[in-house]
Each structure stands twice: as C-alpha cells, then as structure tokens.
Amino acid sequence: MTLSSDTRPADGTIAGQNAAPVLSARNLSLYIREGRNRIRIVSDVSFEIAAGEFFALVGESGSGKTMIARSIMRLLPASMLEIEGDLEFCGKSLTSLPENRMRALRGGAISMIFQEPMTSLDPLMPVGRQIEETLELHSDLNRRQRAERIETLLTDVRFAEPAKVAAMFPHELSGGMRQRAMIAMALANNPQLLIADEPTTALDVTIQREVMEIIQRLRRKYGLSVLFISHDLSLVHQYAERVGVLYGGVLMEAGPERDVIGRSAHPYTQALLNCAPGRRVAGERRRGIGGTVPSPRDWAPGCRFRDRCERADAACANSEIPVKDLSPEWRAKCLRPTE
Amino acid sequence: MIQTSQTATMSARDVCKTFHRSNGWFAKPSETRALQGVSFDVEPKEIFGIVGESGCGKSTLARVLVGLENQDSGSLSLGGRKLFGPGMADVPPVKRGIQMVFQDPYASLNPRMQVGEAIAEGLAISGMARSEREDRVAETLSLVGLSPDAAQKHPFQFSGGQRQRICIARALVMEPEFLVADEAVSALDISVQMQILNMLLDLRDRIGLSIIFITHDISVVEYLCDTVMVMYGGKAVERGKTADVLDNPQDSYTQTLISSVPRL
C-alpha cells in the first residue's frame, strides 16, 4: 500500500481491494487552544470508512463535525488544533505523518470540498488553470495530457462545454457550477477519499440534487469513499450508507443508515428526527428539543445530552457512558437506548 | 395584552420592481427584473408561505412589503387601505401595521444596545411613555418565551434561537397586523428551528397574527403554512393551499422543486 496518489488508473478500478478501511478514526479527541488552556471539542470518536463507502457525519452546529474533517486533512497547525488518538488512512497513521508527506496526500489521495465554493476558488484564475495546478503538483502528466484530463474532469461533473468552462473565472459561474468545478478539482488526482463538508448547504434544492447525483455517480464510477458532513438528516437518509450522529463532540450513535435513521436507538437521534419539519395535521406540534446545544466550555461529565433528554436520570451524570452494541455494526453511546 | 386587529386582508396587485445597475459611464445600464407582476391576497390569521430558489425575487418582495424598497408599479393594501404610494407620506412607518424579521439574528441586533432598549425603540419613536414601554417590553418578552429580565441583557448573552425570539419580540411589540419573516429560521439548528416554528404557530393562535413566511425550505412550508405561493424568475408560478400544491403541483417548476426535496 502506498500513499502516493498516482497509483490508480483513471478508468477507475476500485481502490483498496484489501480489507483495510480507507479511513479509520480510533478514540479521536481534538483540542483547541484558548490562551493557556486547551478545550476539548471532540471526545473519543471512533469510526471507519470502507472502500467505496458513503459515510455521513451528522450533527448540529458545535457538534465537532467540521473539526473532525479538518483534523483528517490536518488543515490547522498543531499549535491550534491538537489531535489525540489514531487516524489511519489505508492502514497508515496520519497523525504521525510529517508535514511534507501530509502535503502530498492533500489534494492527492484525500481531497476535500467545502460549503462555500466561491471562497475556496481563486477569483483571479480561470477554472481550468486551477485544476491544472493540482495536477502539476501531484501527477507527472505533461501539458497535453493535463489539458485532456481537465476536459474529462469537467465532463464528469456534467459541463456540456468543458473547454469553455475551463477558460471562465469563478465569478462567471453560478453557485452550483462552482461547486461542480470544485468537485472536478477535488477528483483531479483520483483520490481514494473525498471529504465533503456541507457541500450543498449554500445551494438551492434543485441544484443540491444535481450536485448530489454527480457525487453519487462519480463515487460509483471511481470507487471513491466519501465522508459527508451535514446537518440535514433527510439528505443523509437519501444518500448515505452508514451514518454517525455527533452531539457535543461525542459520537452518540453510528451504524448503517437503515438502523440509525430507520429505527434509531439513541434518544438524541430520535429527538433530532422528530425536529425535522414536514406535514402535520391541524393543531399538531412536533416536540423539538428544549434548550440549546451546550458550549464546549460548559461540558460536564456524563452524557452531554442529558439536560435535554427525556429519558435521562441521575445515572446519566456518571462520567462513563458505555457504548452499547445493538448489532455487530450498530452502536449507541447511551445507558438506555431503545432496543 | 398584545392583540392584532384580525380583520385586515393584505392584497398585492401586479407588483413590479426592476433594479438598474450601472455598467460604467458609457455602457448601457443592465436591468434585473426582480418582480414581474406579482399578485396575492393574505387573509387575517393566515400563514402565507413564499418559496423559491435564490434570485427568484422572494426577498425583494419582502422588502417591498415593508417599504424598504419602493415598487415601480402595482399596489399594496392592508385592510383596504393603501400601503405605499402617493398620499401615503403622512402614515409613519411604525403605524403601517407590518413588521419584519430577518434571517440572521446575529446581524440584526445592535450589539451595544440592551435587549429591552432594542425592543422598545419603535415604541419610543411612536411617542410612548417610558413606564408604559417597559411594561410592554416585559409582556412581549414573555410572549416569545423569554424571561422579563432579558431586557437588561445584551445580545451576546443569548444563543441564536433566543436572539431570533428577541427579533420577533421587537417586531411584535408594535402590534403589527402582519409579520413578514424572511428566512427567519434558516440560520438556526434544526432543534431550535422547531421551537421557533411552534412559537409562530402559537402566536397565530393566541394573538391572531398573520404571517408572510419567506423560505427556500419546502419542509418548513409544509409544517407551518396554510397557503403557499411558488415564485420563479420574479413571477408567482403557482399558489394554493399548501397540501394541494405539494401533492398535486401544476407548474413544471413547482414539480421539479418538490421532486428535488430529500425526504425522510
């Protein structure tokens, strides 16, 4: 297993025929610096993403989902974000990787797309040139091959006239087109893992569907694993194969989508699903969740959700909440999950 | 007790608004036809949803309704009385009976002003005495589910959901007949969003408030609104009872929109 990015042919044989997951996080904890103190923002999160799998992390703001994504890419320096525990990419540790090796991975074997495509694109550079930059860095293609590759990539994300789009500047594209250009750029070096941090939140639903369908199609075509970060349960329900639900930096429930969303066991997941608006009969009120998400500075020992939980009692304040296995691949961190 | 008149129907007829943008000294200015003849009626105590994608003109319509923009042509009336236009200069904005709540509760409150002052500002402008203002502020705060001592705090001491409650209180204290809410729950977490939606439903039942709720989120419309108007390209393409429009959309854009919404 090599970490270099140019090992897979563009015609898309599936990565990682071996059993090792593409990404695994074990007891991952993240800390941010605040003056002399460090504040824990993610505690003991473990999950795995298999080759070709669509894994979604869902949570409200402040749940730590974006920080987990950034820690995988190590986008923040160690002085700002401390990583404890293990992060492994294709069986190799990412946490101990020196910065220059990490650099070869970013945009190569692991790539990322963000919520606001306008701020992630260089406004002064044509789209094609920006894609070419990542190709120059990570591959040994010559100029002509690069031009061909750019055309294939832009066609892959459903641009009817790839040559025309390659010559355009970001401000000439609409939000959905920019996000598609970002996806083309992210896929330039045949990554094995695509991290998508709320990629459709800023887009209209009709465009959202277009972008999601593109991600889905390319995932199948290239055997890509996707780590999808979202707050939108209905979107996750539609596209994810496995789901992890985060609350206050803790992975509350994780497992196959049909279990976690279909028949959730954790009271937080259930409450969250009950918050989703939708049709109601006259006079009906969905219950929602009282209170607000606690800030990392106010985290007390025990279950983070207990103040807002209907099933909570004195035992929930104990410091250790066990993770219960509900099936070989489905688990919930709760004292009394519904069976 | 804060009450609204519960009798006024809002009517918009053929509202048009075009924005002009200069392209430099010698070039022809470009035009954006944001609203192209939009008409609708909102009955008393109705929650009227306006949906559409970004750029469809829904926010421009909201701004026209509260008088932040002037329409080019068409008329707006509330309970038979004309809202804007010639001869309307003598009705001060605070007496028009329409108030607005914006998307971002962080940006729409003055960080240096105590919450009580912010809520009472409109009352002060309309000339109400201080002691009376304080009573009204306390009453309105409890109406939106905040404790009266919130009046002495500053916006940074509140969460996003609480700030949106403050913004709604600031609108309601003027006893409007209509509340225009432009993407008022879009910036909130879903657990908090549900609290605000339920509060709006309760306010309608308790004080008879009519609400024009502008959003891009079909599932929110489904939960909250009695009637919905779908906008596309500055025009109203479909209008009707929420359940009818969602179950049996007639317009091709509405059909695309509804089929694109991910469902649980």
How does pLDDT run across A201-241, given as a tens digit for each residue?
888 899 899 999 999 999 999 999 999 999 999 999 999 99
Name every chain A residue with its beta carbon within 8 A of the beta carbon of B220. Answer: 277
Q: Quote the radius of gyration of chain B (alpha carbons, Å).
A: 19
Q: Which of A60, A179, A205 to probe the B interface (max B CBs under 10 A)?
A: A205
Name every chain A residue with its beta carbon within 8 A of the beta carbon of B224. Answer: 277
Mean per-residue pLDDT of chain B: 88
Cβ–Cβ of B218/A206 closer than 8 Å? Answer: no
Q: Which of B45, B146, B185, B194 to probe the A interface (max A CBs under 10 A)?
A: B194
Give the residue carrying structure tokens 């009227």: B48
ipTM value of the model?
0.81
Cβ–Cβ of A206/B193 closer than 8 Å? Answer: no
Measured between CA atoms, the residue of chain A closest to residue B256 is A206
DSSP character at residue A121: S
Cα distance between residue B258 and residue B228, in whole Å: 13
Smallest Cβ–Cβ distance between A275 and the set B162, B194, B262 belongs to: B194
CA distance B91 to chain A (A): 37
Does residue B220 belong to the interface with chain A, where contact is any CB pair within 8 Å? yes
State the pLDDT at residue A323.
93
Cα distance between residue A162 and residue A184, in whole Å: 11
Smallest Cβ–Cβ distance between A237 and the set B224, B257, B264 belongs to: B264
State the pLDDT at residue A1.
39
Give the residue carrying structure tokens 């695509």: A194
pTM for this model (two decimals): 0.87
Examine the pLDDT at B31 and tell me if it is beyond 80: yes
Examine the pLDDT at B220 and tell me if it is beyond 80: yes
Are A175 and A206 within 8 A, CB to CB? no
CA distance B15 to chain A (A): 25
Cβ–Cβ of B53/A204 closer than 8 Å? Answer: yes
Domain residue extents for chain B: 10-20+31-259
Q: What angle do CA A181, A63, A217 make, to 5 degrees?
A: 30
Better-scored residue on pLDDT, B190 or B89 = B190
pLDDT mean values, one per 10 residues, chain A (339 residues): 40 48 95 88 94 94 90 89 93 90 91 87 94 93 95 94 94 90 93 94 89 93 94 93 95 96 94 88 83 82 90 87 93 89
Which residues in A have their CB inside 8 Å of a CB on B? 60-61, 175, 204-209, 231-235, 237-239, 261, 271-273, 275-280, 285-290, 292-293, 308
Give B118's pLDDT tier (boundaries 50, 70, 90).
very high
Cβ–Cβ of B53/A209 closer than 8 Å? Answer: no
Range with lowest mean pLDDT among A102-106, A277-281, B84-88, B244-248: B84-88
Architecture field, domain B10-20+31-259: 3-Layer(aba) Sandwich (3.40)
Measured between CA atoms, the residue of chain A closest to residue B159 is A292
State the pLDDT at residue A278.
86
Give B 149-188 residues with CB within 8 A of chain A. Answer: 159, 161-162
Half-sphere exposure for B133 (CA within 13 Å, toward CB): 18
What residues contact B152, with CB distance under 8 A and at least 6 apart? B114, B115, B116
Average pLDDT, integer, range B59-85: 85
Name every chain A residue with its beta carbon within 8 A of the beta carbon of B260. Answer: 205-206, 208-209
Backbone angles phi, psi at B206, to 5 degrees: -85, -45
Average pLDDT, integer, range B2-25: 82
| HEC-encoded secondary structure of chain B | CCCCCCCCCEEEEEEEEEEEECCCCCCCCEEEEEEEEEEEEECCCCEEEEECCCCCCHHHHHHHHCCCCCCCEEEEEECCEECCCCCCCCCCHHHCCEEEECCCCCCCCCCCCCHHHHHHHHHHHCCCCHHHHHHHHHHHHHHCCCCHHHHHCCHHHCCHHHHHHHHHHHHHCCCCCEEEEECCCCCCCHHHHHHHHHHHHHHHHHHCCEEEEEECCHHHHHHHCCEEEEEECCEEEEEEEHHHHHHCCCCHHHHHHHHHCCCC
- Give the three-class secondary structure for A215: helix
Smallest Cβ–Cβ distance between B260 and the set A205, A273, A277 belongs to: A205
Name every chain B residue with its beta carbon within 8 A of the beta carbon of A280. Answer: 222-223
Are B104 and B96 within 8 A, CB to CB? no
A57 burial via Cβ count (<10 Å: 0-12, 13-18, 19+): buried
Average pLDDT, integer, range B40-47: 93
